Amino acid sequence: MTASQPAGVVLSVEGLVKHFGPVRAVDGLTFTIREGEIYGLLGPNGAGKTTTIKSILGLHEVQAGRIVVLGDDPLLHPERAKEHIGYVAEDPLVYGSITPRELFNFVASIRGLDPAAATQRANQLLSSLDALSYYDTLMATLSHGTKQKMQVIAAMLHSPKLLILDEPLVGLDAKAARVVKELVSLHLQQGGSVLLSTHIMEVAQVLCTRIGVINHGRMVAEGTLEQLRTQEHAAGASLEEVFLKLTDQEQAVKDAIEGFRQEYKNQNPNLNQNHDQKQNG
């Protein structure tokens, strides 16, 4: 039996609560992701982003709340829910003792994909990421960036409706990062959706349709960048500036920068004196 979900909604998270002992890592979190959008789940370290993602993947049992992925609850029906999802972790989740070819064959097997079609798609993705030459190389010998490419391919091999991307561009060179962005764009054009978690505010500002900012496990703001700017009375501000305001980090950052500047002045008194002389002269 499938769970009810509004039309056009790919992921529903309602009142999610997850404890680790006395710590509430996620505390009543609610959000939805709609068809064809990139939803940015942003927050400082320890805000609950990874716990939320692992709960969506069915890897955490939760104390309260409800998660539905295209009509399936990942805790009640994990296999069905995972059919809809492709996941790219921050640290590449790949076996070092196999090759990319063996990885993709394994993914195709457990996903029930046609072997020939899966191989063709893998070849296309490898070529687009300039990684075809590594097809039969042991994973353990690959660089972090190349492992990340393989993880992206494995996540997209079955053309999932929902891509969950946790820092997907970490370790990628500029060319590969641009290609991954284009692959995500094509995924959206084909009716897919993306949940993106990243600390790189510039990436989120460019890519995300809507943004949810969480802090201490709770949603503190949600909407388009323009809506977040309006909420914080910060017209024209960058996402980074709005984010720091929303997570109560703006003053701490200013204090840290001022501290660095003062320390630099104290360590370089002659440089400061020369600068003052130039300004007065």
Query: Of 111, 138, 159, which residue is a domain's last?
Result: 159
Quick one: 189 and 72 in the same domain? yes
Quick one: 155 and 17 in the same domain? no
Quick one: 12 and 29 in the same domain? yes
Task: Let me know if residue 244 belongs to a domain.
Answer: no
Quick one: 123 and 80 in the same domain? no
pLDDT per position as a tens digit, 40-85: 999 999 999 999 999 999 999 999 999 999 999 998 888 899 999 9
The count of domains in the chain is 3
Quick one: 76 and 2 in the same domain? yes
Tell me the β-bridge partners of 42: 213
pTM: 0.87
Radius of gyration, alpha carbons of the chain: 22
Mean pLDDT across the chain:
89
Quick one: 45 and 106 in the same domain? no
Quick one: 59 and 112 in the same domain? no
Both tokens assigned to 197? 């978690």
Task: Let me know if residue 281 belongs to a domain.
Answer: yes
Quick one: 66 and 202 in the same domain? yes
What is d(CA 119, CA 124) in angstroms, rounded to the nearest whole number?
9
Quick one: 228 and 215 in the same domain? yes
Residue 10 has pLDDT above 90, yes or no: yes
What is d(CA 27, CA 267) in angstroms, rounded to the nearest whole number?
45
Quick one: 26 and 78 in the same domain? yes
Task: Let me know if residue 192 belongs to a domain.
Answer: yes
Question: Which residue segment(s) compose the domain that 102 sits in?
Answer: 95-159
Split at pLDDT 50, 70, 90, the class of 273 is low
Quick one: 49 and 128 in the same domain? no
pLDDT per position as a tens digit, 138-182: 999 998 889 988 999 999 999 999 999 998 888 788 888 888 888
Task: Let me know if residue 178 belongs to a domain.
Answer: yes
Task: Let me know if residue 267 belongs to a domain.
Answer: yes
Whose tokens are 């989120």? That residue is: 204
Question: Once rounded to an integer, what is the mean pLDDT over residues 6-12?
Answer: 90
Residue 271 has pLDDT above 60, yes or no: no
Quick one: 101 and 229 in the same domain? no
Question: Once rounded to an integer, what is the mean pLDDT over residues 91-101?
Answer: 86
Task: Let me know if residue 89 belongs to a domain.
Answer: no
Domain harbouring 178, CATH code: 3.40.50.300
- Given this model, what pLDDT does residue 265 score? 80
Task: Let me know if residue 243 belongs to a domain.
Answer: no
Share of the chain above pLDDT 70, in %: 94
Distances (CA, A) of 147 to 98, 181, 276: 12, 17, 51
Task: Let me know if residue 44 belongs to a domain.
Answer: yes
Q: How many helices (H) and strands (E) does the chain have?
A: 11, 9
H or E element, residue 281: none
Residue 32 has pLDDT above 80, yes or no: yes
Residue 258 has pLDDT above 60, yes or no: yes
